Amino acid sequence: MSAEAGSRRLRAGALICFARSAFECVGMRSADAQIMAASLVEADVMGVRTHGLNRLESYLGQLRAGQVEVRPIEATVKEGPASVLTDAGGGFGAPVGIRTVEALMSKARFCGVALGAVRTVAHFGAAGFYTRHAARSGFLAVAASSSSASVVPFGGRGPRIGNSPISFATPGVEHPELVMDMALSTTSRGRIKLAADKGEDLPEGWAVDSSGAPTTDPEAALAGGVLPSGGHKGSALSLMVEMLASGLAGANLTQQINHAGFTSAAGREASSILDVTVGNFYLVIDADLFGDGTGVRERATAIANYVRASEPALHVDQVLAPGDIEAARAEQASHEGVSLSEPTLQSLARVADQLGIDFHPGDPRVEE
């Protein structure tokens, strides 16, 4: 995989240190800052640029404006032997999410299965961040979040449902297998925003404008809505995610959640009066639930390998299992560094100037 034109490759460790310092500069606790930084850099490592360091500047803006709590007070609302409901106190999703997954893994070691929910929580981030974390420790996992209304329900004209990000991962023989991380829409607002920033048109069939007419203009799409993935199927599954993430947890429903930060309308500043909190849902299953953890890992890899052994269609080099592309990018990043686009590098430079911290992309201590 070659680097995108205008991009540069930097060491993941240096990028995590930079992002952590930025979060600490605005008052975030060191432990939370570390998780936030790791979540953003991991997204870039996997090539999921919509949820990577390009969001750092807007995240910091939300924190400074008080739209997201810098030092949230988390509280356990209800807990059982195999469950936990947490109020995140208005903080970002990654720190409370990883803590929730850790708690659920401990519960699942005894109960086999554990589920958790988080309410009053800001942006979820990349859903695969949570499920890969669990899979690396020997657990099958599901992570999902409700979201603001950006998707047009099947048969509708304007946005009324969320894109409902959801991820699944399972441990395999050597590494996580079948890692699915997707929104239940044809694309995400984050990807449309990237297209808008680059001045690129959208593919047909992705979005509609504010009048409900099909559009390939990303700015019109941001003012309009995204179409559901798979028509009525994606539309229905989005409502399932909303029920698990918000309905079960008592979190804001889609119609109560505001667009915020990275994908908010042009010129709209972060504001403390906007409620941008959502609900999150987690399910963790011990691979040894039925006393055959080794077999579960072997079967996960066998499922993936059977798909990989498919005869490729015309003009297709190789059939891949879910998560293979991201794993290949992560392997490349471990040797060559993390690829960041020029707009992202410029954004990080602005952050460095604003906060008075060092960031020198050309410095050999940072770039490889």
pLDDT band at 6 (very low <50, low <70, confident <90, very high): low
User: Could you write out the DSSP letters of every residue in 173-228?
Assistant: SSSEEEEEEE-SBSS-HHHHHHHHHHTPPPPTTSEE-TTS-EE--HHHHHHSEEPB
Q: In this predicted structure, what is the pLDDT of residue 152?
A: 93
Residue 242 has pLDDT above 60, yes or no: yes
Residue 255 has pLDDT above 90, yes or no: yes
Q: In this predicted structure, what is the pLDDT of residue 266?
A: 46
Q: Judge whether 186 and 227 are in contact, CB under 8 Å.
A: yes
Burial (CB count within 10 angstroms: exposed 0-12, middle 13-18, buried 19+), residue 312: exposed
Cα 253 from Cα 146, distance rounded (Å): 7
Strands 83-87 and 113-121, bridge-based pairing: parallel
As given in the structure block, the two tokens for residue 237 are 């599954």
Residue 247 has pLDDT above 90, yes or no: yes
Report the share of the chain in percent with pLDDT over 90.
80
Q: In this predicted structure, what is the pLDDT of residue 262?
A: 61
Whole-model pTM over 0.85 = yes
Q: In this predicted structure, what is the pLDDT of residue 263?
A: 61
User: Could you write out the DSSP letters of every residue in 121-160?
Assistant: E-----THHHHHHHHHTTEEEEEEE---S-BPPTT-SS--
pLDDT band at 81 (very low <50, low <70, confident <90, very high): very high
